[in-house]
Amino acid sequence: MVFPHNQTRIVFAAGDARKRLWMRYTRCLLSGLTALLLLLGMTGCPKPSEERTAPVEACTQVGERCVHSSNKLGVCGLVDDPSCQAPPCYECVSQH
């Protein structure tokens, strides 16, 4: 089928418009995703006031950070020991 010269130009112009629209949509979508990832990545960083405190010497509650033998980090855990004189008793347990 042979199109007159004017109709062929309209068909190509519509194809170019669709292509430009799709490229603009893709560019906006990628920009939005990039901004979202940056925002999520930045909000995960702790503020200086929220930094962790130093490990405790003696455990007073479950979940505290403590120093286990040979200067390794540990976590305070509840001890189920009949020889415990004043329950609840806590012990520094190695993390590794």
Q: Please, what is the end-to-end C-alpha distance for the chain in angstroms?
A: 76
User: What pLDDT sits at residue 52?
Assistant: 61
User: What pLDDT sits at residue 3?
Assistant: 56
Q: In what side-by-side order are the strands of the sheet with 89-94?
A: 65-68, 72-79, 89-94
User: What pLDDT sits at residue 7?
Assistant: 55
Q: Indicate whether this model's pTM tops 0.75.
A: no
User: What pLDDT sits at residue 30?
Assistant: 93
User: Which residues, given as ranges, of the chain have pLDDT below 50?
Assistant: none
- Contact residues for 6 (Cβ-Cβ < 8 A; gap 6+): none
Residue owning tokens 């702790």: 46
User: What pLDDT sits at residue 81?
Assistant: 79
User: What pLDDT sits at residue 13?
Assistant: 61
Q: What is the pLDDT of residues 19-46, one digit of tens each?
A: 888 899 999 999 999 998 888 877 766 6
- Domain boundaries in the chain? 5-48, 52-94
Residues found in the chain: 96
